[in-house]
Amino acid sequence: MINDKQLGRQASTPPSPRQAQKPASATVRVIHRLFGNQRELTTNLSLLSMSLPGIILLFIFAYLPMLGIVIAFKDYRFNLGILGSEWVGLENFRFLFGTDAAFRITRNTLLMNVLFISTTTACALVVAILMNEAYRSRMSKYYQTMLFFPYFISWVIVSYFVFAFLNGQTGLINRWIDALELDRIAWYRSPQYWPAILVFANLWNGIGFSSIIYLAGILGISPELFEAAKIDGAGKLQQIRFITLPMLYPMIIILTLLAIGRIFHADFGLFFFLPRDNPLLYSTTDVIDTFVYRSLVELGEISMAAAAGFYQSFVGFLLVVGANWVVRRVNEDYALY
Amino acid sequence: MNRHRVLCVLSVLLVASMILTACPAPAPADSSSGDGQQAAAPSPTEGLVNITYSYGSRGIPADLQKVEDAMNEVLHEKIGVHLTLEPIDFGAFNDKMQLRLSAGEECDIIFTAPWINSYANNVANGVLAPLDDLLLNHAPGLWGSMPATTWDAARVNGVIYGVINQQIFPKPWGVHPRKDLAEKYGLDLDAVSKWEDMEPWLADVRDGEGITPVFVAAPGRGLFLSQYYGFDPLDDGIAFLGMKADDETLTAVNMVETVEFQMAADSTKRWVDEGYMPLEPLPNDEARSAFRAGQYAMGYHVEKPGNDVEAQNAYGFEFLSKSLTVPLILDTAGATATMNAICATSKNPGKAMEVLEEFNTNAYIYNLLSRGIEGVHWVWEDEANQVMRFPDGVDGNTSTYNPNTDWMFGNQFNAYYRDAKQVGAWEATKKMNDTAFPSEALGFVVDREPIKTEIAQTSAVYNELVLPIQYGWVAYADGAAEAIEKLNEAGAQTIINEVNRQLQEWRAKNPR
Amino acid sequence: MTVSTTGQPAHLNRYRVQAYLGRFAVHTVLTLVGLTCLIPLILVVSISLSDELRLAKEGYQLLPVGFTTFAYEYILQEPGQILRAYGVTAFVTAFGTIAGLLVCSLLAWPLARKDFRLRGPLSFYVFFTLLFNGGMVPFYILVTRYLGLKDNIFVLILPYMVTAWYVLIIRTSFAQLPPELLDAARIDGAGEWRIFFRIVVPLSKPVLATIGLFFVLRYWNDWFLALLFIDDSSMYPLQYLLYVLMANINIMAANPQTTGMPIPTLSARMAMAVLAFGPALFTFLLLQKYFVRGITIGGLKG
């Protein structure tokens, strides 16, 4: 890791004379070993003080509740509390793996998320580049606004529209199919179509959100780069390929890494409401989150829900640590940590 | 070196947070979280005991304080209690109550039921106070208002944890066809005794009106309703589990394997195939407005006395109503459908029970809570028959106090009628309760603890493989074998064995 | 745009034509994508203004069928409550966005600095929170019992103020700032705080504007924190109030004891969606000028 190497180098630089003269106490020596010479120390302390509010807030609102993860390994009883409840080892995880649904929900969750990540990234990049091309136009702000609309519409409402399009009796698409004198499609009994439907819905919902990050990235690229390329005779496509995309790599990689960390978590609303919790579609639409909901909605077992959540986080953690390791080997600057 | 530092930081965090959590918690600010409301209220008089009642509500009624004051006027005098009403929006009620209880917050009286703020869950988690002694000593009227067999329904391992609100206990499943269409297509409801008897009329309506006659909302609904087929469902959370209500040997079975389930599934499939029932039902709210718009001809539900009036109110047409469930079965889930309970954390369980006594035996208090103040929120239409109405210029939506949840607060038979047509409905309902055939397992409650993993597993399988059969999407002959096999793989048999063991143990303690 | 005059070499004219076609294609694609996003929104508005009975018979239409404002009247029976909720949401959104942006970027800057010795571990410390959480119950116990924040408006703000995802995006953008600029400032003797506010922030307007927008959306759309921690109905934020109203309508509609009044359900659902996103959209359009400008100014010459 580049910063480690740098740190190593800095740490091995000879101590400044001033520092050597002072009869440094043990603590001071430790501090200097950690942070380097006086100037570096000042810089580091300033930087540390900047990050302090964030560190504290994360500690309180993210790390303290994390102690509650132990609930996943306990038989949590309200009257006994977190500490008083009995340890049960991995018992709470059993329901996730007890049936052959385990394979299916894992496959669906992973597959759909991979599809989501790849399609969203690709389309968001295209849209961002197009928006950048249209940036000086008066229409630009209308495009941006329109792309953001879907983000405001909840999945419940989206599910109404999807039903209006796809249902067997009055659905718009089936009426079009009738007009073309083709065979109707029973969308709600045909699981094979649903990955595509869900990918489309997800894209539709999130494109405004994702593309704007890349648009900000493109607008952050120094215009001189493009000018220079133009002088060298590069066309639009070449500019995109050799300037825009490379400059966006860090952002693409970081967003992908973050998405990989959540790859075992599915968007519950999307997978629950759009297929309308229809058992006939489970083979392609059932994901870990919907499965857990369905298993536990009657039972209300907090411990088992916690176990499922821990499993999702833990696998995501392993995957992202692996992915980060690979990224670091390729280009240390792009790594997450 | 990087990893070491990470570990270092993490362990420091861990230690720090442990120290923090080990510190004694600052006393939760006066437990009852309605501080804000209390401050506005006239301060309770010295010597009164504070009791809080937390229940579900649609919104916070504008005149809540007035009603609370009116109730306290009586309660201060009579039992020395200052009652604080704490309505919680229904949409959040379950989550909020479960969180509060799981966090060990103090409370006095709470609403609990099998279907919301789960009674079984709360009992298993030890957050409800045992009520037997309290009932005897503090609420003799309430205790005497129901037969011992009914009280048994609320017992878990022999102990009562919830006060049952009297309302309709059995489930008289039946049909409510629209009156105009029944007449138009010559439906003789008297001659109808089972689902299948409706079919000729349904076919006529389908052809004559060009509609799908039976109201069903998403995701779907079938004709298999356990009490109609003589089953006691034993535990609403274990969908496939049931026991013939008259089975003296107390043998629970997988209902999917029974001939009754097959009959129901076949009929449902036929209804769907014939276009009596929608194949892809509309979402609930759309389906309801479609019913109002005349797109359906019949619903099937709990046809309790007065249901025709209620259906008319909901959908705007006149309805007929007939129960097809013979005999009516009194089972645990039906009897415990709505309850009020006292928290184990309550400082004054005795006084809380005295409040419940008032809710259930004092018609004045009960109607204050469920209907508001006479002359302000309602007026008499016909006092002799106990029929009330809204004051002029006020309706259910504009009323400043109209919780509309009689069944939540206490003995519903003390409620005033809202419509002259309903007069006598309470007596009829009470008669249904008293004459219903008590299930052999009335009072038995499944202890889910030893089988919770299996319950989670089978409930996922049930949804996936049994529901399509139940909803009439997949023929029984095509899907049942696989469904049963998968249910068993997921632990259905383990559940049945364990429940049968619990049933025998229960019978040993509670001989017939 | 200015179009050329005569006397240009032929190949330049060809470039013009190509550029023109290119621009045409760009606008066509964006318009199509935009319409796909716009139509459902129009449907929402139109259904909210439709008569439910006719809707049930005739299906969804782009224009309202049997125009009525009944759903809005029903929801707005107590306009005071909705207005209050708007106020709460506005405060939470404004305060949360500004404070969150400040804290997140202050945290992101050291993480972008290669000479910050805790960069690695601290990045991990931030990132880790994205993956693991303790679940609802411990969070609830912590906030209500140990922090005593129940029914406190700041409970709607503080938990979201540092969001790992935002911090890491800002960090990535910060890391791409040209180091020469910072060195120059350092030679002038500027301290770290000064460098941050005088150089880093102005140069990073695009990403800060974007993350600011995300903060706005997040605070505006949140109802979960209120569900957990707000009991006092005068402190309900908008989304939570609407969530509760919808749940109440569903319960009412499902409860046949409800008095004879018709209750809008489908149109009410849509009307609530309009009430929820309408003002947000309006603000979005209003602020977009500044938002766009922020991106442009920051993006170019620093």
Among A44-53, A216-225, B136-145, B411-420, name the one with the lowest average pLDDT: A216-225
Task: State residue A222's pLDDT score.
Answer: 80
Confidence of residue B273 (pLDDT cuts 50, 70, 90): very high
Q: Which chains touch B (3 or more CB pairs under 8 A)?
A: A, C
Task: Report how far Cα B176 is from the mean position of its chain's Cα atoms.
Answer: 21
Chain B CB contacts of C234 under 8 Å are: 36
C247 touches chain B (CB under 8 A): yes
Cβ atoms of B456 and B347 within 8 Å: the answer is no
Q: Which residue of B has its CA nearest to C252?
A: B58
Task: Report how far Cα A248 is from the mean position of its chain's Cα atoms.
Answer: 17
Cβ–Cβ below 8 Å for C191 and A157? no
Q: Which residue of B has its CA nearest to A90?
A: B453
Rounded to the nearest integer, the mean pLDDT of chain A is 85
Confidence of residue A24 (pLDDT cuts 50, 70, 90): low
More confident residue, B302 or A116: A116
Instruction: Classify residue C80 as exposed, middle or buried by CB count within 10 Å of its CB (0-12, 13-18, 19+).
Output: exposed
Q: Which of A208-222, A248-262, B255-269, C223-237 is predicted most confidently? A: B255-269
- Which of A145, A170, A236 lies at the smallest CB-CB distance from C22? A236
Task: Please tell me the distance from the alpha carbon of residue B326 to that of residue B330, in angstroms, as a whole number.
Answer: 12
* Sequence spans of domains, chain C: 14-58, 78-299
**Average pLDDT of the residues in A173-193:** 89
Chain B CB contacts of A187 under 8 Å are: none
Q: What token pair was written down for B467?
A: 């529901």
- Which of C55, C121, C233 lies at the smallest CB-CB distance from B60? C233
**Gap from C209 CA to chain B (nearest CA, Å):** 32
Task: State residue C191's pLDDT score.
Answer: 86
**Gap from B105 CA to chain A (nearest CA, Å):** 10
Task: State residue A209's pLDDT score.
Answer: 84
Q: For B433-492, write each residue's pLDDT tens digit.
A: 988 989 999 888 888 889 999 999 999 899 999 999 999 999 999 999 999 999 999 999
What is the CATH architecture of C78-299?
Orthogonal Bundle (1.10)
The superfamily (CATH) of domain B35-167+336-364 is Periplasmic binding protein-like II (3.40.190.10)
Task: Please tell me the distance from the alpha carbon of residue B373 to that of residue C263, in angstroms, as a whole number.
Answer: 25
Task: State residue C262's pLDDT score.
Answer: 63
Q: Which residue of C has its CA nearest to A70?
A: C134
* Amino acid (one-letter) located at B383: E
Measured N-to-C along each axis, helices B199-209 and B259-273 cross at an angle, to the nearest 10 degrees, of 20
Sorted by where each starts, the structural domains of chain A and their CATH numbers stand as 2-85 (no CATH), 91-334 (1.10.3720.10)
Ranges of residues in chain C with a pLDDT under 50 are: 1-6, 259-260, 297-302
Q: For A271-297, write each residue's pLDDT tens digit.
A: 999 998 889 999 999 999 999 988 887
B191 touches chain C (CB under 8 A): no
Cβ–Cβ below 8 Å for A101 and B453? no
C223 touches chain B (CB under 8 A): no
**Gap from B201 CA to chain A (nearest CA, Å):** 23
**Average pLDDT of the residues in B170-193:** 94
Chain A CB contacts of C59 under 8 Å are: 164, 170
Q: What token pair was written down for B257?
A: 């394997």
What stretches of chain C show up as alpha helix (H) in DSSP?
A: 10-48, 52-58, 70-75, 79-112, 119-131, 136-141, 158-161, 164-174, 179-187, 192-195, 201-203, 205-221, 224-229, 238-254, 266-299
Cβ–Cβ below 8 Å for C36 and A204? yes
Q: For B256-270, write each residue's pLDDT tens digit.
A: 999 999 999 999 999
| B contact residues 292-311, partner A, Cβ 8 Å cutoff | none
Chain C CB contacts of A131 under 8 Å are: 30
C251 touches chain B (CB under 8 A): yes
| B contact residues 312-331, partner C, Cβ 8 Å cutoff | 312-314, 316
B495 touches chain A (CB under 8 A): no
**Average pLDDT of the residues in B22-33:** 37
- Which of A3, A65, A157 lies at the smallest CB-CB distance from C119? A3
Q: Where in B337-478 does DSSP place strands (E)?
A: 339-342, 379-382, 387-389, 437-438
A330 touches chain C (CB under 8 A): no
Chain A CB contacts of B13 under 8 Å are: 59, 63
Task: State residue B87's pLDDT score.
Answer: 93
Cβ–Cβ below 8 Å for B33 and C231? yes
**Gap from C67 CA to chain B (nearest CA, Å):** 16
Task: State residue C8's pLDDT score.
Answer: 54
DSSP state of B46: T
Q: Is a pLDDT exceeding 50 seen at residue B382? A: yes
Task: State residue A12's pLDDT score.
Answer: 41
Task: Please tell me the distance from the alpha carbon of residue B453 to that of residue A93, in angstroms, as a whole number.
Answer: 9
Q: For A310-330, write each residue's pLDDT tens digit.
A: 999 999 999 999 999 999 998
More confident residue, A184 or A54: A54
Q: Which of A217-226, B202-211, B286-295, C274-283 is predicted most confidently? A: B202-211
**Region label for B491, one of left (φ > 0), alpha (ψ between -120 and 50) or beta (otherwise):** left
Q: Is a pLDDT exceeding 80 seen at residue A30? A: no
Q: Which residue of C has its CA nearest to A170?
A: C59
In 3D, which of B283, B278, C50, B293 has the Cα closest to residue A162?
Answer: B283
Q: Is a pLDDT exceeding 60 seen at residue B178? A: yes
Task: Please tell me the distance from the alpha carbon of residue A245 to that of residue A256, in angstroms, as a whole number.
Answer: 15
In order of A302, B185, B472, B483, the CA distances from B272 in angstroms are 38, 21, 6, 20
In 3D, which of A14, A276, A238 has the Cα closest to residue B473?
Answer: A276
Cβ–Cβ below 8 Å for C158 and A64? no
- Give me the interface pTM, i.e. the ipTM: 0.86
Cβ–Cβ below 8 Å for A301 and B456? yes
Q: Which residue of B has its CA nearest to A166?
A: B280
* Sequence spans of domains, chain B: 35-167+336-364
Cβ–Cβ below 8 Å for B404 and C252? yes
Confidence of residue A10 (pLDDT cuts 50, 70, 90): very low
B216 contacts: CB under 8 Å, gap ≥ 6: B277, B278, B281, B287
- Which of B9, B285, B286 lies at the smallest CB-CB distance from C125? B9
**Gap from C96 CA to chain A (nearest CA, Å):** 13
**Gap from B445 CA to chain A (nearest CA, Å):** 14
Q: Which residue of B has its CA nearest to C137?
A: B99
Q: Which chains touch C (3 or more CB pairs under 8 A)?
A: A, B
**Region label for A112, one of left (φ > 0), alpha (ψ between -120 and 50) or beta (otherwise):** alpha
Task: State residue B133's pLDDT score.
Answer: 95
**Average pLDDT of the residues in A243-250:** 92
Task: State residue C11's pLDDT score.
Answer: 62
Reported pTM: 0.84
A255 touches chain C (CB under 8 A): yes
Task: State residue A208's pLDDT score.
Answer: 86
Task: State residue C292's pLDDT score.
Answer: 58
In 3D, which of B382, B364, B381, B385 has the Cα closest to residue B373?
Answer: B364
Q: Is a pLDDT exceeding 70 seen at residue B16? A: no
| C contact residues 137-156, partner B, Cβ 8 Å cutoff | 137, 140-141, 144-146, 148, 150-151
Cβ–Cβ below 8 Å for A67 and B489? no
Cβ–Cβ below 8 Å for C248 and B59? yes
Q: Which residue of C has its CA nearest to A169?
A: C59
Count A/C contacts: CB-CB distance under 8 Å. 274
- Which of B13, B98, B282 lies at the smallest CB-CB distance from A59? B13
The neighbouring-strand residues paired with B174 are B301, B323
Measured N-to-C along each axis, helices A302-330 and A288-296 cross at an angle, to the nearest 10 degrees, of 170
Chain A contacts to B (CB-CB under 8 A):
1, 4, 59, 63-64, 67, 76-81, 91, 94-95, 98-101, 159-160, 163, 167-169, 188-189, 276-280, 282, 286, 291, 294-302, 304
